[in-house]
Amino acid sequence: KFVALSYRVDGLARLRLMPIDAAAAIVGSGAPVSYSDFTDVFDVLSKADKPFYPHKDDLYSVSLGGQRADFDFDEIAVHVDSPTGPTRTYTVALQPPPATGVARWRARFLMEDELEVEHRRGDYCCKMVWCPDTESAGPEGVVARAAAATPFPNERKVPCMVMYRKECFKPGKNPLFITAYGSYGETAPLEFSSAQLSILDRGVVVASALVRGGGELGRAWHHAGRFDARRN
């Protein structure tokens, strides 16, 4: 009943939807299907019974909740993941014509993963920080293509997810725990970890560097972490 477009923006997973009849009409007219023909799932979730709005102090990834063998099914599950809190799941149902755009979809809040500890999402901040890269080695063409996949095409910068407890954050004074992995084109999961709460609540800043070799920024980013460009 619909077409789902899964993609990434600055390393973060995003999702857009289009009714299959709308896609068929575009293809039948001979016109190419474009990104703007799809509806952003964030816009759909903002109209849910328990609306979801992206917050400036947080990072989010959006994904389909599994696959169905029934192609006539008109409802799907959508997961919203964030490092600051447990996964939220919504159902998104296709509405009949003449509704168009965002109105063609109806979102309903389904559940939020349960926690065994007291936790308030708003106590924490998670941001993407683009760090200058001055030590990389590798063919200039390969590295340049990787840079072109970032918002800074003329600079060498690496995205790094940084998270901290707001009331404990003192710029330049907090201890830092950082991890990094970039290989096989794999993407770092953007998910909540209750195990990190203990060190976050004691003022430790937790960071994850999305170094070249991973798949967060596409094939060029992956290839720029292989062979003679591996030292990054």
**Rounded-to-integer distance, Cα 16 and Cα 25, Å:** 18
Give 226 or 152, the one with higher predicted confidence: 152
Q: How many residues does the chain have?
A: 232
Mean pLDDT score of the chain: 88
Average pLDDT over residues 156-182: 93
Residue 179 confidence (pLDDT): 93
pLDDT at residue 196 in the model: 92
Q: What percent of the chain lies above the pLDDT cut of 90? A: 47
Which is more confident, 66 or 146? 146
Residue with tokens 């799932």, as numbered in its chain: 41
Give Cβ neighbours of residue 15 (< 8 Å, ≥ 6 apart): 4, 5, 6, 7, 41, 62, 63, 64, 78
Q: How big is the chain by its Cα radius of gyration, in Å?
A: 20
Q: Residue 75's pLDDT is what?
A: 87
In single-letter form, the type of residue at position 99 comes to: A
Kindly report which listed range (40-44, 188-192, 199-203) carries the lowest average pLDDT score.
Answer: 188-192
Q: pTM of the entire structure? A: 0.86
Lowest mean pLDDT among 95-109, 129-143, 161-175: 129-143
pLDDT category, 12, cuts 50, 70, 90? very high
Three-class SS of 25-88: HHHHCCCCCCHHHCEEHHHHHCCCCCCCCCCCCCCCEEEECCCCCCCCCCEEEEEEEECCEEEE
Q: Can you tell me the distance from the alpha carbon of 230 to that of 232, in angstroms, rounded to the nearest whole number?
A: 6
Least Cα distance to 58 among 97, 34, 88 occurs for 88
pLDDT for the residue numbered 84? 94
**Residues 18 and 38: beta-carbon distance below 8 Å:** yes
User: Which domains, ranges and CATH numbers included, belong to the chain?
Assistant: 2-112 (no CATH), 121-229 (3.40.50.1820)
